[in-house]
Amino acid sequence: MKPKVFVTKPIPEQVEAYLNTHCELDKWEGPEEIPRQQLLDRIADVEGLLTTGGSIDQELLAHAPRLRVVSNISVGYNNFDLQAMRKRGVWGTNTPHVLTETVADLAFALILATARRVAELDKLVKEGRWTDSTDEMLFGTDVHGKTLGIIGMGRIGAAIAKRARYGFDMTVSYYNRHPRPDLEEQWGVTYLPLNNLLQTSDFVLTMIPLTDDTIHFIGKEQFAQMKPTAIFINVSRGKIVDEFALIEALKKKQIWGAGLDVFEEEPVSPVNPLLQMPNVVTLPHIGSATKQTRLAMAMLAAKNLVAALQGNEPPDLVPELRMARKRE
């Protein structure tokens, strides 16, 4: 008998066909996110769960006594209660690697759009307020030749550094939990302590995961150290930034502008002051949102799911669970 799996959102036809080959498939068909209670009601007999979010906690695990694996269609997995999953012996997987280049593209789109005021000036033209292109009120700031400071030099950080160094002739510094001499040699980047990076960078870009240790990693103290001409870019997770401190830094002109793909609360509230600031470019968490990448992510998640259900360690078992498995 095929193991039963539940999919919490519509997935590409190719991925559904793959899952149907190996599993008995049940899925949520609604355009909106599945209500929590409906999810709990439908997983009593499932062995695998394919999802893009939603808390995988003790309550959910109690409603799914046969569950063996939860596969996130996401590089992030802060929705996993890892302690509860370890205790129950439930594997959790994510989808790294396949979205690296796409997110790096989006990061650079935000850098360019914020520096050259693309969204603001697009609105100006469409509203018929364009009178003179030589007006200094329309001027932005250069990207090429500037200094980019990357906080978090993982796969995506390295892909951004490559674009900065060889596409825009930028000086790239980085802060990471551990120095990366391999990337320093490969891409010509320089490790700096966080304070030094903040003080010397024209663009400060965050690319760190959300953990208990990184909530509000960037706040009032960090913004105060940035140049008044600095541009802050966040394409990782909204909660690593103290949003109130960011708003205050922008209001006080401690920094020049910001480009944001993520927010503390998502979807972002329409009354959030960031949405009223012309020097802030705001996007709806679309870092990996291309058809090609989302297909690749969904297929990788499905393959992780099937591998686990076949009794094999999935390729993308999240690191904490992989380490716990090795200690057992």
Active-site residue numbers? 237, 266, 285
Task: Give 240-270 as a 3 state SS string.
Answer: HECHHHHHHHHHCCCCCEEEECCCCCCCCCC
Show Cβ contacts of residue 87 under 8 Å, excluding neighbours closer than 6 positions: none
Structure tokens at 210: 């959300």
Eight-class DSSP state of 312: S
Q: Residue 242 CB: number of other CB atoms within 10 A?
A: 20
Cα–Cα distances in angstroms (integers) from residue 276 to residues 116, 140, 243, 251, 273, in the given order: 18, 19, 14, 11, 5
Name the pairing type of β-strands 203-206 and 91-93: unpaired
Buried b (16+ CB within 10 A) or exposed e, 155-166: bbbbbbbbbbbe
- As a whole number of angstroms, the distance between CA 306 and CA 21 comes to 10
Q: Residue 295 phi/psi, 5° resolution? A: -65, -45
- As a whole number of angstroms, the distance between CA 166 and CA 269 comes to 38
